Structure 1
Amino acid sequence: MAMSEPTQPLAGASAAATKARTSFGILGAISLSHLLNDMIQSLILAIYPLLQSEFSLTFMQIGMITLTFQLASSLLQPVVGYWTDKYPMPWSLPIGMCFTLSGLVLLALAGSFGAVLLAAALVGTGSSVFHPESSRVARMASGGRHGLAQSIFQVGGNFGSSLGPLLAAVIIAPYGKGNVAWFVLAALLAIIVLAQISRWYAAQHRISKGKPKATIVNPLPRNKVILAVSVLLVLIFSKYFYMASISSYYTFYLMQKFGLSVQNAQFHLFAFLFAVAAGTVIGGPLGDKIGRKYVIWGSILGVAPFTLVLPYATLHWTGIFNRDNWFYPRIGLFCHPGVCAGTASGAYRYGFWALFRFRVRYGRPWRCGIRPARRPHQY
């Protein structure tokens, strides 16, 4: 779910003048913030069974929560990216996290379905501000090592997404929805970290004001770039459609088919999302070695067989955190259909963004990443 600024080559001596050291402290801080932000996002998915039980929700209403969150987090991102390109706002990062914090408080206290929808929208709004600006910061701190910076930034978000269900299983499931309030501490920590990052961001912006503006080079024809980006958007839509379907309803599937408790189902969701994160990490060096196109298409086609097998798999293969089996699932981690699908999906995510950045670098400059809104889908 991260975006990157288009590469804008500088001409002549100005290119040499812009060489800077990589700010690993800033990269580590923005990666930590990404972890906290995406952990909070995945927390909403993880507590769907609790929300269904408390408010007697239908699967249609569960899908509406996902849709509300994604509409807020996805459609606002290009707007935020466009606006902050024209009018840089270094302090938008902690301000955006304040929206997330207010959403968590409302979710913990929500007494109706409408309040849950509003809470999801607030968390989504915070995410829509965070992602374009944090990606910009990662690029500014890269010192020209854009691939390394983006990898550090992505790892934080991917593993944060997997932590949400795990923490929900330990902190929320045994005690109830009210314990969502404990995650306000994570949002407060993120605000503190982002405030420090914003100071650095503001200082860098003041320094860059006196530098010559970059010259954009577009060697590829406009029509070719539009076609390539259109294909990539179709692929990423299919990927997020799949991810939304599994993430939103996987716990319900496990509870209904195998009679798992909410807590055990959340462990399964953690395994799936952790595999997505692992696939993202694996996809990087794999794409460099065999080519990004092969990673993208292999991942798309690789998801299909495991997804088709999943409804017919026994709990022994479906549940890697089965309380009756602790050791074998760790050995068979990548033989598990859900985990394999997640790993392939993560590799696909890396390959897509790598190719998207390549097209941006040598084609029409897109100011921020566009992520299609995920649609609810009942299994």
Structure 2
Amino acid sequence: MPPAAASPPARHDLEAISLIGFVHGVSHFFHLLLPPLFPWLMKDFGLSFTGIGATMTIFFVVSGCGQALAGFLVDRFGAAQVLGAGIGCFLLAALLLSVVDDYTGLTLVAALAGLGNSVFHPADFTVLNRQVSPPRLGHAFSIHGLSGNLGWALAPVFMTGIAATLGWRSAALAAALLAALALLLLFWCRRSLADPPGSDQADPAVELGQAGTVNSPFAFLQSGAVWMCFAFFLLITTAFGAIQNFATPILQQLHGLSLAAGASALSAYLVGGAAGILSGGFLARRGAHERLIAAALGTAALLVVALATLPLPQWAVLPLMTGIGYCTGIAGPSRDLLVRRAATSRFGQAAYGRVYGFVYSGLDAGLALAPIAFGAFMDGGRFTAVLIGIAVLQGLAILTAWRVGGTALPADA
């Protein structure tokens, strides 16, 4: 038997993981290019909450639609070029924000930032799957998720701190500088992201059902596993969006927390999620990803139900929110590996961009859907119903993960 191909050295893996982690953090930073500046923008342009909030709807609609299409560009032109284009959109969005003088300009900023954001998941995961050795992929996906959380954490402090001292236009210019630095780093390290020889060729042995070999760029849409992955992201991200948007007022109403305590509980949820992502990278190495997802999300759902129905003392809310975030975070790396299995088992490496782009468009759809789906419950004072709805979404996500595990063939990883 011929010897197996040598795995890439640890240094090569570390370089790819670090670079992709950094640019993913930048993409999450630009999720929050506008929201930290809402108080200043509303005042200067005379906008309502509905008007300024619509800019984020534009962001996620453009990002979701663009993400499904960006996967084709990644497969055609390579991840490095597409990542560069995405960061270039961020740079243009921040520069435009620094000079914008009306609401139309703000909507253009949101659309440009959403277009830039659309490329990162298909490009990031294509690079990680092609450049990182399989034994380290769980850790790679863990760092990828953690870096996104750090980008979210940095943006409000960075943007509001500069806006409060130098003005919001200066904050926009500072964000543009960050995008320019990221673009320079990406150009400097572009060779680390180059596709390995032959990775853009479809595997002639891969077949789809009874249809013969896969020879259409849209063949992945015939796969039930791919659709189940999309549904998983839609469900789990709608649940996350509901917590992110409404946890603070819900905890104030159900458990009598102050505004500051409710915000602290939400922060505890996000910190718990980051810790869970790190733990999930180690646990994912054991395989059985759908079982790990089921255990983690099942526990999270039970904790959410407890939060909704039990007369908890105020001191118990924060650790409970931390536990919900931790369990949800554990599922992250296994989730990404499950998508990889759905892609490689039927379509080979040539379809990474398309599969990840389509599947992760469910993330943007969930974030856009959450305020609409749960806003009516909040307006009606049905706070317990919101939490129960979150638990139901997590339970449905478990079912989709099991479905993916049953329909995706064993991957070659």
TM-score w.r.t. structure 1 length?
0.72
Unpaired runs of 5+ residues, structure 2, are 212-219, 379-413
Instruction: Give the Cα separation in 1 of the matches to 2:46 and 2:264.
Output: 23
Task: Name the structure with the higher helix share.
Answer: 2
- Quick check: 1:94–1:192 contact (8 Å CA) kept in 2? no
- Quick check: 2:142–2:333 contact (8 Å CA) kept in 1? no
The change in CA–CA distance for 1:260 and 1:115 in structure 2 (over 3 A counts) is farther
The change in CA–CA distance for 1:233 and 1:37 in structure 2 (over 3 A counts) is closer
Instruction: Give the Cα separation in 1 of the matches to 2:149 and 2:9.
Output: 26
- Quick check: 1:166–1:270 contact (8 Å CA) kept in 2? no
Pick from 16, 41, 46 the counterpart of residue 26 of structure 1.
16
Report the CA distance between 1:173 and its aligned residue: 6.0
Say yes or no: does 1:153 pair with 2:136.
no
Pick from 362, 369, 379 the counterpart of residue 345 of structure 2.
362
Instruction: Give the Cα separation in 1 of the matches to 2:266 and 2:326.
Output: 13
Instruction: Give the Cα separation in 2 of the matches to 1:168 and 1:350.
Output: 30
The change in CA–CA distance for 1:213 and 1:118 in structure 2 (over 3 A counts) is closer
What amino acid is the match of 2:277? T
- Quick check: 1:300–1:344 contact (8 Å CA) kept in 2? yes
Say yes or no: does 1:129 pair with 2:112.
no
Partner SS, residue 9 of structure 2: coil
Equivalent residue for 1:351? 334
Give the number of the structure with larger relative contact order, counting CA–CA contacts within 8 Å between residues 6 or more apart.
Answer: 1
Report the CA distance between 1:62 and its aligned residue: 5.3
* More moved, 166-175 vs 249-258: 249-258
- Quick check: 1:20–1:143 contact (8 Å CA) kept in 2? yes
Say yes or no: does 1:115 pair with 2:105.
yes
Percent sequence identity is 23
Pick from 70, 91, 103 the counterpart of residue 93 of structure 2.
103
The change in CA–CA distance for 1:138 and 1:165 in structure 2 (over 3 A counts) is same
Partner SS, residue 208 of structure 1: coil
Equivalent residue for 1:195? 187
Say yes or no: does 1:185 pair with 2:170.
no
Equivalent residue for 2:407? none
Report the CA distance between 1:19 and its aligned residue: 5.1
The change in CA–CA distance for 1:251 and 1:101 in structure 2 (over 3 A counts) is farther
Instruction: Give the Cα separation in 2 of the matches to 1:347 and 1:252.
Output: 26
Aligned residue pairs total 345
Pick from 198, 203, 211 the counterpart of residue 215 of structure 1.
203
Over residues 261-297 of structure 1, what are the superposed CA-to-partner deviations in whole Å (9 max), with x where a residue is unaligned?
8xx9876655443333222222233344584223322
Equivalent residue for 2:297? 300
Partner SS, residue 189 of structure 2: helix
Pick from 66, 70, 74 the counterpart of residue 60 of structure 2.
70
Partner SS, residue 119 of structure 2: helix
What amino acid is the match of 2:343? V
